[in-house]
Each structure stands twice: as structure tokens, then as C-alpha cells.
Amino acid sequence: MSDSESGFTPNEMMTIAASRALKNDDVCFVGIGAPSAACNVARLTHAPDITLIYESGTIGTAPQVLPLSIGDGELCDTAVTTVSVPEMFRYWLQGGRISIGFLGAAQLDKFGNINTTVIGGYPHPKTRLPGGGGAPEIATSSKEIYITMAQSKRGMVETIDFFTSFGHGEGGDHRKRLGIETAGPTLLITDLAIWKPDPVTKEFTVVSLHPGVSRAEVQATCGWTVKFTDALEETPAPTALELKTLRDLQARTKAAHAGTGKGKAA
């Protein structure tokens, strides 16, 4: 088998690109869904010693299947320890012990501000979303924030409908002016590209296109005028190991949630 397999989906590319951003010594506060998949692929490949923390208080989790929610028993069963939610937020998160907060978004603007509350006006929304949970605190107290989401004009918008989690606000030094000392969003990984904030304006800028993706495709699925770095790169395609790890994890998860009893790794 070659180093890279030619057949992979945009979502697989997104998850694997996101996983590569994590380091072995990271302490990562993990969101459910795409962030959880990326973090666990990292743990199962190049970052076996990464510390994964979920909002329910589980520390050092090593799930064999992806959790359905922060209350999934798989997280507690595989954790090094489980602490109370107040301890999780006050001691671990607000105490500055989290290196990476990994979040998803229903809506995102170009400065990394996140909406997970409502689509439309708050009093009478078109859609009511799950809400912020711990994300607002994660966004301000983690040393850095990584965001992952599939691109669409509905999701990546000029102005979010509700301000759930603070990114870079109005851009520039807005975080610092509000007394927020953490770095905020430093990386956005979508199914088409990798983005990083401009050092001065803090507007997300495309630094790498995934294999086979054009600038036009990125712009067509984004609600603001996209900026591209002058030194635009191509994201390395997934390796055979990365794809196998992700697909095996997804297969175990599907089997476990279907109740077949075949979800656990041997």
C-alpha cells in the first residue's frame, strides 16, 4: 500500500488535517462531533500521550468509540479520573491548564466568533440550536482555540445571528481590550482548506488548500470575501494509516451505537 490513498472524502480530509494540528503533550478540551473525531485520531496515531478532557469532567479519556454526548459512559469508563464539573472549569480550564480548546460551530464569522445558539432572531428563531454549554468559557480560557467545520454559506457568514463564543470579536486587539489574555482562535480546519488568522487584523486567511480544491470552491462556500495567503500551500493527502485509523474508529462507533456489541476494539 502506498503512503497515501487516493480515495478519501472531504470530511475525512478535514478530520485528519485537524488531527495533525495536535501535539503529543497537548491538554485538549474536546467538543463533541468533528472535534472529538480529530482528537481521537491524533491519540491513536502520532499523539498517544495527549490528554483529552471532556466537559463532563473526564480527564485522560481514551474512548474506543466516539461519544454521542459529554454524558456518554464511554468517556468515564476510559478516563484516568473523573472530577466534578465545577472543578473541571475552575481548576482545569480557568486555571490555565488547557493548551487547546477544540470547538465546532453552527455559524462562524471571519474573526472566529461562534454561534451555537439560534439561527435567526433570538425571540423567534428559525432554528434553536443546542446552545453554548461550556464553549464560551473554553473560548476565553483555553490557551488556543482550534475550530473545525464543513464549509457552507449558511455556516460561514459575514455576521453571526447570535454571539455564543468569543473569537477575535471585531478583529485586531479586541480580545486584549476586553482583558482576555489567551490567544483565541489560531486555526480553522474545514473540509476544503486550512485557515489561520492574520497576525494584525485577526481575519481568517486560507493558508492551505486540500488536494484537488480550488480557490473558487472555497469562495463559493463562504459567506465573506475570502483572503488567501501569498504562500498558499496544498494540504498533504491522508496517509493509509490515518485513513485506516479514522475508518476503524467510525466503524466501531457505528457498531456500538447500533447495539451490535461489536464496537469495542479487541
Q: What is the predicted pLDDT for the residue at 4?
A: 45
Domain ranges of the chain: 10-257
33-37: long-range pairs with CB below 8 Å, 24+: 33/104, 34/104, 34/148, 34/149, 35/102, 35/103, 35/104, 35/146, 35/148, 36/66, 36/67, 37/66, 37/246, 37/249, 37/250
Rounded Cα distance, 44 and 50, in Å:
10
- For residues 263, 100, 137 and 107, what is the CA-based torsion angle, rounded to 10 degrees? -70
Structural contact between residues 18 and 192, judged by C-beta atoms closer than 8 angstroms: no
189 strand-pairing partners: 148, 194
The pLDDT of residue 205 is above 80: yes
Half-sphere exposure of 216 (CA within 13 A, CB side): 1
Structural contact between residues 89 and 146, judged by C-beta atoms closer than 8 angstroms: no
- Percent of the chain having pLDDT more than 90? 90
Handedness of CA 16, 20, 26, 28 (dihedral sign): negative
pLDDT in tens, 63-90: 999 999 888 999 999 999 999 999 999 9
Average pLDDT, the chain: 94
Would residue 234 show up in a list of annotated catalytic residues for this protein?
Answer: no
Q: What is the predicted pLDDT for the residue at 262?
A: 46
The pLDDT of residue 260 is above 90: no
**DSSP code for 256:** H
pLDDT in tens, 220-245: 999 999 999 999 999 999 999 999 99
Q: What is the predicted pLDDT for the residue at 28?
A: 97
**DSSP code for 31:** P
Q: What is the predicted pLDDT for the residue at 266?
A: 41
What superfamily would CATH give domain 10-257? Glutaconate Coenzyme A-transferase (3.40.1080.10)
Lowest average pLDDT, out of 20-29, 129-138, 150-159, goes to: 129-138
The pLDDT of residue 215 is above 90: yes
pLDDT in tens, 50-59: 999 999 999 9
Query: Is residue 71 classed as helix, strand or coil in its secondary structure?
Result: coil
- 5, 12, 55, 234: which is the annotated catalytic residue? 55
Q: What is the predicted pLDDT for the residue at 237?
A: 97
Q: What is the predicted pLDDT for the residue at 3?
A: 40
Q: What is the predicted pLDDT for the residue at 263?
A: 53
pLDDT in tens, 5-15: 459 999 999 99
Q: What is the mean pLDDT of residues 149-173?
A: 97
Start-to-end CA distance of the chain, whole Å, equals 24
Confidence band of 196 (pLDDT split at 50, 70, 90): very high
pLDDT in tens, 89-120: 999 999 999 999 999 999 999 999 999 999 99
Residues in contact with 126: Cβ distance below 8 Å, sequence separation at least 6, in sequence order: 118, 119, 120
